[in-house]
Amino acid sequence: MSVLTLPAQPGQDTAPRPLPWRRMTWVTWRQHRALLISIPAVLAAAAVVLVIFGLKAHHDYAALVNCPLNQGQQSSACGKMFSNFNSNVWPLANALSILVQLAPVLIGAFAGAPLLARELENGTYRFAWTQGLVRERQAIAKLALLGVTLAVLAGAFGWLFSWFFQPFLWTEQINQLSEGMFDASGLVFPAFTLVAFMIGAFLGMLFRRVIPALAATLGAYLALRLGAWALHGQYPVTVVTSNAKLINAYETPGTPGFPWILNSWFTGPGGKPLSSAVTSRLQDLPLGGSLPPGVTEWFKYIPLSRYWPMQFMEAGWLLVLAVGIGAGTVWLVRHRAA
C-alpha cells in the first residue's frame, strides 16, 4: 500500500490569504445590483431637482443680496423681490431640506437591513456561508465596499445640497451650525449615512429578519441624531466673548443668521455675578443695545469659523462608531449559528 504525502509548504499553505477584493466587488455588485442602481438613480433625480431649483434660487439671491434684510428698511422693489422669494422659492427649499434630512436613514435602512438579514431569512446563507471564502471575510468585504460607496454618494449629494441651500442661510437667517444644516452638510452627512448603514446591517444580523431590522434602524437612528444634537454643545470649539457685535452681525448682507448661543449671562462691575431679579430685567433689553454702566453681557457660542473643526470632530466619532458597529456585525456573523 502506498500512501501519497505532500510536504506542507510553509508560507504558502499556512499564511492567511488576502481578501480577494476584485472578486468580492463582483459578488457584491451582482447580489445587490438592484440597490446599487436604484439608490444612485433616486439621488440623481433629486440632484436634478436641486440643480434646477438651485440655479433659480441663486439667480434670485444675486438680486436680493443688496437689499437690507430688515423689512422696515426695504424699498418697494426690494420688498416685492423678497416676498416673491419667500412665497415661491423658500417653501420648496424648506420641504427639500426636510427630505434631505431623511436621506441617510433611508439609505441606511433600505441598504443595510437587508444586506445580511435577507440571506438569513430566505435560507441562501446555507450556500453563501459554506463557500471557500469564509463568511466573516465576505461580510467585511460587503460592509466596506457598500459602506464606502454609499458614503461617497451621500457626500456628493450633501455637497450639492450645501450649494443649493447657501442663499437661504442669509434670507432665512439660518446658521450653518444649527441642527438642521450642520448634519446635512460637509463630512457629517456622509458619516451619518455610513453609521445608519452599519446600524442597519448590525440589526439585520441581530434580528435575522429584514422588516423588524428596518423598523429598528429607524428608531436607532433617531436616538443617534438626538444624542449627536445633545453633544453639540460639548465640543471644544466654543468661544466666550463679550463683544455683542460678533453676535449681532446679521445686518451685514450675505451673512447667515445668529450663531448658536449656548449660554449667555451678565456680570456686574468687577465681574461679579448679578442677582436673578436684575438678570431677568436685563434679559428684556434688546440684544446689542446699551447696557447699564458696569454691566457686561457675556456669550458662550460657537463661531462660524469653527464649522470645519466641528465637522471633523463629529465625523470623526461617527466614523469610529461606524467601524465599531461594523466590527460588531462581523462578530455576529462569525458567532451566530443561524
Partner 1 sequence: MTVLTTRASRLDRDARGESRPVPWPGMLWVTWRQHRALLITVAVVCCAAVAGLLAAGLRIHHDYALVRACRPAGSPACQGLSNFFNTTDWHQGAIVHIAVQAAPVLVAMFAGPPVVARELETRTYRYAWTQGIGRVRWTAVKLALLGSLLTILAFAVSQLLTWFFAPFMTTQQLTDLTPTVFDTSGLSYPAWTLVAFCLGAFLGTLLRGTLAGMAATLGVYVGLAAATWFYLRDHYPAKTFWPMQLFEAGWLLALSAALIAGTLWLVRRYAD
The residues binding partner 1 (CB under 8 A) are 34, 38, 42, 91-92, 95, 99, 106, 110, 114, 210-212, 214-215, 218, 280-281, 284
Pair 210, 121: CB distance under 8 Å:
yes
Give the shortest CB-206-to-partner 1 separation in angstroms.
Answer: 16
User: Could you tell me the smallest distance in angstroms from the CB atom of residue 311 to partner 1?
Assistant: 25
Choice between 133 and 282, CB closer to partner 1: 282
State the Cα–Cα distance between residues 13 and 35, nearest whole angstrom: 37
Q: Which is nearer to partner 1, 236 or 289 (CB)?
A: 289
Nearest CB to partner 1, comparing residues 186 and 259:
259
**Minimum distance from residue 46 beta carbon to partner 1 (Å):** 10
Contacts of 226 (CB under 8 A, 6+ apart): none
With beta carbons less than 8 A apart as the criterion, state whether 140 and 146 touch. no
- In the complex with partner 1, the residue whose CB is nearer, 53 or 129, is 53
How far apart CA 101 and CA 225 sit, in angstroms, is 10
**Residue 223 or 320: which CB sits closer to partner 1?**
223
Grid coordinates given for 9: 509548504
Length of the chain: 338
User: In the complex, what is the shortest distance from the CB of residue 44 to partner 1, in angstroms, rounded to a whole number?
Assistant: 14
CB-count burial class (<10 Å; 0-12, 13-18, 19+) for 327: middle
SS3 annotation, 268-293:
CHHHCECCHHHHHHHHCCCCCCCCCC
d(CA 162, CA 186): 8
CB of 239 to partner 1, least distance (A): 24
Toward partner 1, which CB reaches closer, 78 or 206? 206
Render 179-243 in DSSP notation, one character per residue.
HHHHTTSTTHHHHHHHHHHHHHHHHHHHH-SHHHHHHHHHHHHHHHHHHHHHHGGGSTT-EEE--
Q: Which is nearer to partner 1, 8 or 34 (CB)?
A: 34
Pick between residue 105 and residue 325 the one whose CB is nearest to partner 1: 105
| Residue showing cell 450639492 | 160
Long-range contacts of 23-27 (CB under 8 A, 24+ apart): 23/133, 24/133, 24/137, 24/138, 24/141, 24/142, 24/145, 25/141, 25/145, 27/138, 27/141
Q: What is the DSSP letter of 303?
A: -
The smaller minimum CB distance to partner 1, of residues 109 and 333, is found at: 109
In the complex, the smallest distance separating the C-beta of residue 275 from partner 1, rounded to whole angstroms, is 14
How far is the first Cα of the chain from the last one, in angstroms, to the nearest whole number?
Answer: 44
Asked whether 229 and 179 are in contact (CB, 8 A), the reply is yes
Rounded to a whole number of angstroms, the minimum distance from the CB of residue 69 to partner 1 is 21
CB 77, min distance to partner 1, A: 26
**Smallest gap from residue 110 Cβ to partner 1 (A):** 6
